Structure 1
Amino acid sequence: MKMMINCIQKSVIRIQTLSRASVCRGLSSVSGPKVCVVGGGPAGFYTAQQLLKARQDAVVDIYERLPVPFGLVRFGVAPDHPEVKSYGAEGNRSMGILGENLPGVFSAKDFVGWYNGIPANKELSPDLSCDTAVILGQGNVALDVARILLSPLDMLKKTDITQHALEALATSRISRVLIIGRRGPLQIACTIKELREMVNLPNTRADMLLSDFKEIGETLKDLPRPRKRLTELLIKAMNERNDKAEKSWSFRFCRSPVEVLAASDGKRAAGIRLAVNKLEGSGESVRAVPTDKLEDVYCGLIISSIGYKSIPIDPAVPFDHRRAVVPNDTGRVQDVSGLYCSGWVKRGPTGVIATTMNDSFDTARVLLQDMDTGKLDLSIKKPGAQAVAALLQTRGVRTVSFTQWEKINAEEERRGKPHGKPREKLLDVEDMLKIAWS
């Protein structure tokens, strides 16, 4: 699995001590500074990598609650993007509207977890018998979900998408996906790569509104180059017609969700009511202000992709509930000596691959600096992972080592081979443990 990613899973790092953990890797007895990394995703691995490169005498133990490591690299957004997987914090941002808890409404995080094999989402069972799906949000995650819903089955069969998701998509009747954003085309949050893949998706056509683009020509020449290229591709997609395509996708701009509309029996979602916005300001800082105009879109599937948020890891770790981050100064956790953070829990749910790596490297650099300057007292010898192992034993927690995880990995690869897939992911934690401990 390659660690090429857009967004990263949270990690909290503590020198020499840890209050709790569940599944671990590498209980080493080598002397040297001891670092505990909580969270086996890329943020943790990138930070650990830099620490080990700088301090060959360091001992880094990575703890992960699941029996499988790598976080978003395993549970990333798009199974057809093995080289670029994005995921992140554990919580969902609520839309805060009436009806959002009706059956038929899903967060992108959970929907992604369903087709990527997160054990907690294996029972999601979305109803794909409708013809129209609405995705709220216009970032890369939203486009990944749209692409999975509309992709030809033959394209997905060769990926590590879960078999139950593949079977559900095989009978899907969804032929139209609307991707809703509260601001305009000049503020769309996806990257040009993701947009180009939507434009080139077989048997689909873009179906956008000409009125959304009527004033763009005047400002196009003054846009920064990346934004200009993205906008030009949007305009090109709007102007190209493919009348033979059986499926369509489109962006709808200047729309905000107001209410999920229930079916006549009140038991599931049947549509969504949108406020039509007007834009105030200019450029990336433009604000969307709702008007009195409303639009109803009838659909059987609604996926909210408006962002993720981190959740508190432990009462002993400071947490800013408003910003959903651990308060910190360049990775140093506020008012707690020896505690550091990296990833989304450090800066919030933003960033691409360069941001991810640089952020983790910065945390490692600060941690190493504190070692070198004596801000961290490393003269006191502590048992490190040995103490954690003893604590877990008293709590009756049996761990999975990295070597034992390799048994899970081998079994998944074996199961995927008959289907021409790189792997068939195990979805049940108990099944993972049986194989790991066999």
Structure 2
Amino acid sequence: MLRVAVVGSGPSGVFTAQALVQQESVPGVTVDVLDRLPCPYGLVRYGVAPDHEKIKSLQNTLRTSLEHPAITFLGNVPVGEGPGEVAPARLRELYHAVVYCVGAASARRMGIPGEDLPGSFSATDFVSWYSAHPDSPPDAFALPARSAVVIGVGNVAVDVARVLARGADELAATDVPHAALSALAESRVTDIHMVGRRGPAQAKFTTKELRELGSLSGVRALVRAEEAALDPAWEDGSALPGIVRRNLDVLRGWAAAGDPPPGPPDGRGRRIHVRFFLRPVAVLGDSAVRAVRFERTVPDGAGGVRGTGQFEDIEAQLVLRSVGYRGVPIAGLPFDAAGGTVPHAAGRVLRDGAPSPGEYVAGWIKRGPTGVIGTNRPCAKETVQSLLADAPSLLARRPADDPRAALRTAGVAPVEWPGWLGIEAAESELGRSLGRRTVKIPDWEGLLGAAGCVRG
């Protein structure tokens, strides 16, 4: 019987486990899906915005896989070589094979002066906060700002701009943690600037998410036509892919609506300014953020941009950078610092250029932070095919008899599926006590207590 550990319970990890137990070439495969957190689903739980319930419903698909009789979920199992962690070398002793599906956990930095001033954060920090990630302090964002700058024009940037602009009464119907909901209800933000260094044809958002910004109650989306027109595709994008043409149509509609009246918007009204061809060069302020300085850019004719030496300061008391994700190294595994990935060949981990027996990768830690959720399926399939091809040599070694007993002996207290069901029940009860639907528990102690476990 082939015993496999999959490290990571997000889409790539669950798709890997599913592919392993559904294949027929190697009978009797069992899979333990390990996660550092006591909760499954990865970025579907802790990265998808709370008001995107259709995407979050993917949890139901992942749940079906994790309830397969040959798959066991083991949360609260940190992997690494630090205190209280399970070393990759130890996992290789416990399993025939280990597949790492740990994603890309850190946010890229801009590398500009003032980036670490109080009030400047990664968008990842903000997403973790409103998604109740237990590593994020519930009071991380007080939101006293009037003006916020979101640097980036991808779907994560759209998500954080939308959550800042959306009324707290609308978010109350989601699972957003109560502390975050209270902070958003008291937010004084009136203007949100979403800024990209290139043009509208190069923006990475999808049309559905972009349109949402223009349909929010009490919110006006604004585009400066003269700025967007620096992009040659602004006037005629007929040769571009369909998604880009649709994006341009939405943006042209906002530009045609004209400029807003001067001064702050009336009542609780908010404005989202979608800006292009501005490259951040500094976050300004002394003890806290007060503005972001941008350099005007123009197309360089080769798909990039060049600076013009002209600068613009945009007032801000809150800065959220959304310039991409990056994989982080796992102690005990090789790591390509330049690409932020584990070196591999068709999913087989490479040590000193040669495949490391029984070690594999899938998902973002394998290919980098690219693609959508569905991209993880073919990525997982490729890795599983490599693992199954190696099965005869993997089965020649007999691992330890009981991985769970070994984990407990090492001081790790795994949260199994009944513990996760306890968390779900506690979150439902928390929502009822607050007069809401299900509300996420935002801290380690609360999650582990609900699971019947104590944090080591």
Note the alpha carbon deviations across 1:192-240, whole angstroms, 9 max, x for none.
1110111211111122111123343543222222211121121112223
Deviation at 1:72, TM superposition (A): 1.1
Equivalent positions of 1:406-421 (< 5 A) are 406-419=421-434, 421=436
**Which one-letter code corresponds to 1:413 in the other structure?**
S
Indicate the SS of the match to 1:276: strand
Equivalent positions of 1:166-177 (< 5 A) are 166-177=181-192
Deviation at 1:313, TM superposition (A): 1.3
Indicate the SS of the match to 1:193: helix
Question: What TM-score does the superposition give when structure 1 sets the normalisation length?
Answer: 0.85
CA distance in structure 2 between the aligned counterparts of 1:431 and 1:156, rounded to whole angstroms: 22
2:7 aligns with one of 23, 34, 38? 38
Q: Is the 8 A contact 1:261 1:272 kept in 2?
A: yes
Equivalent positions of 1:35-434 (< 5 A) are 35-55=4-24, 57-84=28-55, 89-214=104-229, 215-240=232-257, 246-262=269-285, 266-281=286-301, 286-315=303-332, 317-334=333-350, 335=354, 336-371=356-391, 374=392, 376-383=393-400, 386=402, 388-419=403-434, 421-434=436-449
Deviation at 1:300, TM superposition (A): 0.6
CA distance in structure 1 between the aligned counterparts of 2:55 and 2:257, rounded to whole angstroms: 28
CA distance in structure 2 between the aligned counterparts of 1:83 and 1:363, rounded to whole angstroms: 28
Note the alpha carbon deviations across 1:269-319, whole angstroms, 9 max, x for none.
11111111121135xxx112222111111111000110111111122x111
Note the alpha carbon deviations across 1:242-292, whole angstroms, 9 max, x for none.
878721112111111111101xxx21111111111121135xxx1122221
Note the alpha carbon deviations across 1:76-127, whole angstroms, 9 max, x for none.
2310012325995211211111111111011011111111101111245324
Q: Is the deviation greater in 212-221 or in 271-280?
A: 212-221
CA distance in structure 1 between the aligned counterparts of 2:320 and 2:450, rounded to whole angstroms: 34
Q: Is the 8 A contact 2:175 2:438 kept in 1?
A: yes
Q: Is the 8 A contact 2:423 2:450 kept in 1?
A: yes
CA distance in structure 2 between the aligned counterparts of 1:367 and 1:304, rounded to whole angstroms: 38
Q: Is the 8 A contact 1:276 1:295 kept in 2?
A: yes
Relative to structure 1, the CA distance from residue 136 to residue 88 in structure 2 (aligned partners, 3 Å threshold; closer, same or farther) is farther
Deviation at 1:175, TM superposition (A): 1.2
**Which one-letter code corresponds to 1:362 in the other structure?**
E
Q: Is the 8 A contact 1:158 1:420 kept in 2?
A: no
Indicate the SS of the match to 1:110: helix
Note the alpha carbon deviations across 1:329-372, whole angstroms, 9 max, x for none.
2211123122111111011111113312222222223322333x
In the other structure, the counterpart of 1:435 is 450
Q: How large is the RMSD of aligned CA atoms in angstroms?
A: 2.1
Q: Is the 8 A contact 1:185 1:212 kept in 2?
A: no
In the other structure, the counterpart of 1:12 is none
**Which one-letter code corresponds to 1:322 in the other structure?**
A
Indicate the SS of the match to 2:394: coil
Gaps of at least 5 residues in structure 2 are 59-101
Note the alpha carbon deviations across 1:29-81, whole angstroms, 9 max, x for none.
xxx11111111212111110011111451010011111111111211231001
Relative to structure 1, the CA distance from residue 289 to residue 420 in structure 2 (aligned partners, 3 Å threshold; closer, same or farther) is farther
CA distance in structure 2 between the aligned counterparts of 1:290 and 1:277, rounded to whole angstroms: 4
> Identity across aligned pairs (percent)?
38
Indicate the SS of the match to 1:83: helix
Indicate the SS of the match to 1:207: strand
Q: Is the 8 A contact 1:208 1:252 kept in 2?
A: yes
CA distance in structure 2 between the aligned counterparts of 1:362 and 1:193, rounded to whole angstroms: 30
Q: Is the 8 A contact 2:138 2:180 kept in 1?
A: no
Question: What TM-score does the superposition give when structure 2 sets the normalisation length?
Answer: 0.82
Gaps of at least 5 residues in structure 1 are 1-31
CA distance in structure 1 between the aligned counterparts of 2:443 and 2:374, rounded to whole angstroms: 33
Relative to structure 1, the CA distance from residue 279 to residue 124 in structure 2 (aligned partners, 3 Å threshold; closer, same or farther) is farther
Note the alpha carbon deviations across 1:368-408, whole angstroms, 9 max, x for none.
2333xx4x331333236x1x334433332222111122111
CA distance in structure 2 between the aligned counterparts of 1:229 and 1:325, rounded to whole angstroms: 33
Number of aligned residues: 395
**Which one-letter code corresponds to 2:377 in the other structure?**
M
**Which one-letter code corresponds to 1:196 in the other structure?**
R
